[in-house]
Structure 1
Amino acid sequence: MIIDHSRPCHKERKKQEQKTVSIAVIASSIPSRWANSINTMKHADAFSKLGHKVKIYSIINDMQEDLRNELHDAIYDWYGISPIPINYHKTFPFFFHTNFLPYKGIRWLDRKIFRNAFQAKLNPHKRIAEECFKAGVDFAYCRGFFPMIACMQKGIPCVIETHGAIISEPMKKAFAYSNHDAFRGVITISESLKSKYIAEGVLAEKILVKHDAVNLSLFDGVSNDKKTLRSELGLPLGFKLIMYVGSLKPGKAIHKIVEAANADSNSFHRYVLVGGTENDFKQYRNLCTERGMQKLIFVSFQNNQLVPRYMKAADILLLPYDIEETQSVMDMKTTSPIKLFEYMASQRPIVAHLLPNFASVLTESDAWTVPLGHKILPLIEKVLSLSDQERKKKCDQAYQKVQNYTYLKRARCILDLAQIDKRPDEQI
């Protein structure tokens, strides 16, 4: 592919006194309930809070368009961020399903007869890249390889955030540009992923390894009064609430929580699952009915603005995993979940299965952990038997540690990688 050199890619670093640079945040999952969607929007918010001019470009399918229409202006509460302009682009499948014969025919006609006019008009990645080019965007933060490639072809400096352990064809195509100046770098969440990308030809100095992060202001502004929070959220009073907040997709070991609830003989314990859809809950509701269980409470997916309130209403927050669970939605050897840092920010006791990539973040001084495969109920009972002061000590240590894992600090590191960050005087 030919890169457009009509605009120099190597832009001079902005002068200290200049207030903003123009940043495009480009993703294909906004709005959605997926963690990468939350991660993307939190970064857009952080870039904006650092004083930059930010615009979000979202490539959406029919399902995401339905959710967008449902949310409308409430999308900012959904993600727990300040308002930022969002430009939506509809995707068309014949650009991406390369092996489906009718789509091949459409692309052939477009190329041979119409000189790629359809692609220029309808391909969302190329449309976004053209818009960014015309708008004079200084830098693009991408959560997809196709928009990154399209932007680099326009000479727009780009970084790609990817947590992918599987080397896909789109990844290979993007990494083929890694020695070009428009390719500013890769952001990922583990050293093992970095090694994979180096093996694909990306220079080590162009890869930034950073754990996920948290927006502390969402938590610091919430009361620590559990009784008040439970009353406001409709959660039961007079019980110890053992809570999980997050996706109920495969790999999240929800069955481990159900097992613990079923084996727990204390009538004053309740297990709360926050974050699923009614379809996600169905199998667990049926199981509760079969076994006569009354300890599980189901709370549907909540917007990100409300998540801190639920977490702070809990007595214990659970982070279970089952490495043997099939069809997991993440790689357990490399995952760095947003939920971990939100739990730490909530100042509530954490009971977790210890995954390999947690070791540099979560220790015995911050949380109560067990190896993968171990039951979590004995640890839950141990934590609840401790004094308030003993529990508070670890919670405080976790809260102090999470100060180093904010989106503002992560965004600054990304901008350093992209070589365009301004240096404001304020502390982050």
Structure 2
Amino acid sequence: MCSAFSENDINTTLLVTASKDSKKNFSNLKNKIWNFYGVKNRFSIEWLNFIYPNIRFKHFFHGLFVTFYLRRNNYSIIYTRSEWVAIFSSILIKKKTILELHNFKNTLSQKIIIRLSLSNAFISLVCISNALKNELIKYGFNKNILVAHDAVDLDLFNVNVDANQIKKKYDLNMTKPIITHIGSIRKGRGFNTIINAAKDMKEFLFVFVCGHSADIEIINKQKDKKLSNVKFIDFLANAEIPSILKISDALLMTYSSNLDTLRFTSPLKMFEYMASGKPLISSDYPVLREILNEKNSLLIESSNSTVLQNAIIKIIDDKEFSNSISIQALKDVKNYTWSNRAKKIIKFMQISN
């Protein structure tokens, strides 16, 4: 978002809070970070040394710490994902504060934000789905809420890819159709459903691109089972994701009902999948249908490996159908670029309050 704001002529500074050791690691990467994330429009980055205390209200103290820093500096608008930063900034600094919310659990901080919406002229809300907006209204949020789904940088996908070269780079089978899942394989992502499908589909190669610390134990356990048609690729830089997607034959988004953010989600990878020009197979949930439909994806019952197997076979065998949903997805995703999202939010900031 910082890059997109900068592209739209907003003088943007990203505030990062972490320990001194993290700052040292960042300093070693600072000349590479733009390429790592595929960022074109550079912006300022300010590093604030803050060690999260190992106590219950650590986010409360983080919010205070950041707010006191903001108070000493002359920022016109504060845009944050931190609920406590939004609360303290709107009360103590009294400058326009935009909170971007991705989930709602009716926590203490969220209850305070709802109360502030009744009386505080400085706080406004951006959320990532209509489902989340409706939930906030139900709980009493009494101001305009902007829905801005997540997005994608289409320029990252505007590249020609040598499939054989990419397959060699990541040691992938040269002849089998490639079925790819990008992102964490933790609870609620349908990992076991994919693995169960893979066991009976030896003619396909199932590729997982993941590497979050919480995924490592799952990966190691699965490697011990030695499924020859399952391949794990470690965490990749954002700029490298398009090449993997573009050599795939089908892309999987197999969320299940036990994903804690499922009711309100707007997955980044959904937009990346759509931008790749490859067919997307997705679990069928109402919040995902805010973007997906039968014309731009293959929507299926979740947590059912047999249904998933049949969906993969349909994608591979029915080229006319696969091409049709891929082309439509590519058309639809043009409405969901980071630049367009930034324009929408900037307009909202200008008219809110």
Same fold (TM over 0.5): yes
Partner of 1:55: 13
Tell me the alpha carbon deviations over residues 348-378 of structure 1, each in whole angstroms, 9 at most, x when there is no partner. 1111111211112111111112122332111
Q: Which runs of 5+ in 1 are unaligned?
A: 1-42, 104-118, 422-428
Q: How many residues are matched?
A: 346
Q: Which moved more, 1:43-52 or 1:55-64?
A: 55-64
What is the Cα deviation at residue 140 of structure 1? 1.5
Partner of 1:393: 324
Partner of 2:46: 87
Partner of 2:245: 311
> 1:125 aligned to 2:62?
no
Tell me the alpha carbon deviations over residues 286-324 of structure 1, each in whole angstroms, 9 at most, x when there is no partner. 34433x42111110111111111111121111111221x
For 1:373, give the aligned amino acid. Answer: S
- Which runs of structure 2 are paired with 1:70-85 in the superposition (5 Å)? 71-82=29-40, 83-85=42-44
- Which runs of structure 2 are paired with 1:204-243 in the superposition (5 Å)? 204=143, 206-220=144-158, 222-243=159-180
Q: Which has the larger radius of gyration?
A: 1
Residue 342 (structure 2) aligned to one of 394, 403, 411: 411
Tell me the alpha carbon deviations over residues 6-34 of structure 1, each in whole angstroms, 9 at most, x when there is no partner. xxxxxxxxxxxxxxxxxxxxxxxxxxxxx
> 1:377 aligned to 2:309?
yes
> 1:151 aligned to 2:89?
yes
For 2:343, give the aligned amino acid. Answer: R
CA contact (8 A) 1:129 1:150 kept: no
Partners in 1 of 2:65 and 2:157 — Cα distance? 36
Residue 2 (structure 2) aligned to one of 14, 32, 44: 44
What is the Cα deviation at residue 98 of structure 1? 4.2
Partner of 1:106: none
Task: Decide whether aligned partners of structure 1 residues 402 and 151 sit closer, same or farther in structure 2, where only a CA change above 3 A counts.
Answer: same
Partner of 1:273: 208
Partner SS state of residue 287, structure 2: helix
Residue 251 (structure 1) aligned to one of 188, 191, 194: 188
Partner SS state of residue 176, structure 1: helix
Partners in 2 of 1:61 and 1:197 — Cα distance? 34
CA contact (8 A) 1:92 1:123 kept: no
> 1:365 aligned to 2:295?
yes
Partners in 1 of 2:64 and 2:294 — Cα distance? 50
Task: Decide whether aligned partners of structure 1 residues 403 and 159 sit closer, same or farther in structure 2, where only a CA change above 3 A counts.
Answer: same
Tell me the alpha carbon deviations over residues 54-108 of structure 1, each in whole angstroms, 9 at most, x when there is no partner. 1001122578557535633322233221332111113244597449xxx9xxxxx
Partners in 2 of 1:419 and 1:354 — Cα distance? 36
CA contact (8 A) 2:71 2:93 kept: yes
Partners in 1 of 2:326 and 2:347 — Cα distance? 32
Partner of 2:26: 68
> 1:263 aligned to 2:221?
no
CA contact (8 A) 1:316 1:349 kept: yes
What is the Cα deviation at residue 177 of structure 1? 2.6
For 2:122, give the aligned amino acid. Answer: A
Task: Decide whether aligned partners of structure 1 residues 130 and 304 sit closer, same or farther in structure 2, where only a CA change above 3 A counts.
Answer: same
Partners in 1 of 2:38 and 2:51 — Cα distance? 30
Partner SS state of residue 419, structure 1: helix
Partner of 1:202: 141
For 2:191, give the aligned amino acid. Answer: I
> 1:320 aligned to 2:254?
yes
What is the Cα deviation at residue 256 of structure 1? 1.3
Q: Which runs of 5+ in 2 are unaligned?
A: none
Q: Which moved more, 1:44-53 or 1:360-369?
A: 360-369
For 2:329, give the aligned amino acid. Answer: A
CA contact (8 A) 1:57 1:128 kept: no
Partners in 1 of 2:202 and 2:169 — Cα distance? 28
Partner SS state of residue 203, structure 1: coil
Partner SS state of residue 404, structure 1: coil
> 1:356 aligned to 2:254?
no
Partners in 1 of 2:21 and 2:56 — Cα distance? 18
What is the Cα deviation at residue 167 of structure 1? 1.4
What is the Cα deviation at residue 190 of structure 1? 2.6
Residue 165 (structure 1) aligned to one of 81, 84, 104: 104
Partners in 2 of 1:64 and 1:171 — Cα distance? 29
Tell me the alpha carbon deviations over residues 226-256 of structure 1, each in whole angstroms, 9 at most, x when there is no partner. 2343344443322211111112222111111
- TM-score, normalised via structure 2 length: 0.88
Residue 181 (structure 1) aligned to one of 121, 142, 152: 121
For 2:152, give the aligned amino acid. Answer: V
CA contact (8 A) 2:184 2:212 kept: no
RMSD of aligned C-alpha atoms? 2.8
Task: Decide whether aligned partners of structure 1 residues 379 and 63 sit closer, same or farther in structure 2, where only a CA change above 3 A counts.
Answer: farther
